[in-house]
Structure 1
Amino acid sequence: MAKNQNQGQIAEHSARRYLEQRGLTFVEQNVRYRFGEIDIVMKDGSDWVFVEVKYRSPSQYGGAVNALSQAQTLRIRKAASHYIQINRIDAICRFDVVAVDPDAMQWIRDAF
């Protein structure tokens, strides 16, 4: 478990740097509520971006791109909705995924 957590933290850090290099602004990371978690919150201009980072080895269960289930997207949406409400955000929001494999990184805008 500790190895997977460490790989997940490394993947999140790499994803954050990757998005910052592409012009997004970091807001917050690892936002946790009892009903869901947001890996990274960023801004793209005036738009708010809720980022889910998925790490998988390329051959493990179809790689990182295929690692997000419908139940996970529902939990992320609930967490983001709560975040928007408590922070009184009145702006366009979107959900992105950064899929991190050992040899590549893929940024999927408006993933769900």
Structure 2
Amino acid sequence: MFKWGSRSKPDRAEIGLAGEDAALAHLQRAGLALLERNYRVGAGPARRAGEVDLIMRAADGTLVFVEVRARAGMSHGGAAASVTTRKQQRLIYAAQHYLLRHACPPPCRFDVVALDGDQLTWLQGAFDTG
């Protein structure tokens, strides 16, 4: 299995999984608790309307919807720049769907964990629904 930072050339799925594993470990060390991983909304696996990589709960009760982006380097603006407006809309849609299970939704935020090579950057409150 691919480990982040190894020298072998991984495929896209391996990069994504390793990035999510690294992000999850980082967020858990920071005190967040995992609620869901790879929460998907849509009609079948090929037609996803939205997906959230990680849904976490912060110590203050805030629900944190996390998008994880991993890139080998900083070309094309890096990992954080790849979270486009369209991707944000799909994350918001999935988050709204997830929140339907709460009679009184808690405070929420959208974070991005960007991995550029071996550098991890956690962008808290990276975007909002407005």
Shared fold per TM-score greater than 0.5: yes
Runs (4+) of structure 1 moved beyond 2 Å? 86-89
Whether 1:29 aligns to 2:37 is yes
For 1:109 and 1:76, the matched residues in 2 are separated by 15
Amino acid at match of 1:41: I
Structure 2 partner of 1:44: 58
For 1:41 and 1:66, the matched residues in 2 are separated by 21
- How is 1:57-96 mapped onto 2 (pairs within 5 angstroms)? 57-88=72-103, 90-96=105-111
Report the number of matched residues: 111
**Larger helix percent:** 1
Question: 1:65 Cα shift?
Answer: 1.6
Amino acid at match of 2:57: K
Over the residues paired in the alignment, what is the CA RMSD in angstroms? 1.3
Question: 1:95 Cα shift?
Answer: 0.3
Instruction: Give unmatched runs, 5+ long, in structure 1.
Output: none
Computing the radius of gyration from Cα coordinates, the structure with the larger value is 2
- Identity across the alignment (%): 35
For 2:124 and 2:51, the matched residues in 1 are separated by 19
Say which SS state the counterpart of residue 100 (structure 2) adopts.
helix
Match of 1:105 among 82, 97, 120: 120
TM-score (norm 2): 0.81
Instruction: Give unmatched runs, 5+ long, in structure 2.
Output: 1-9, 43-48
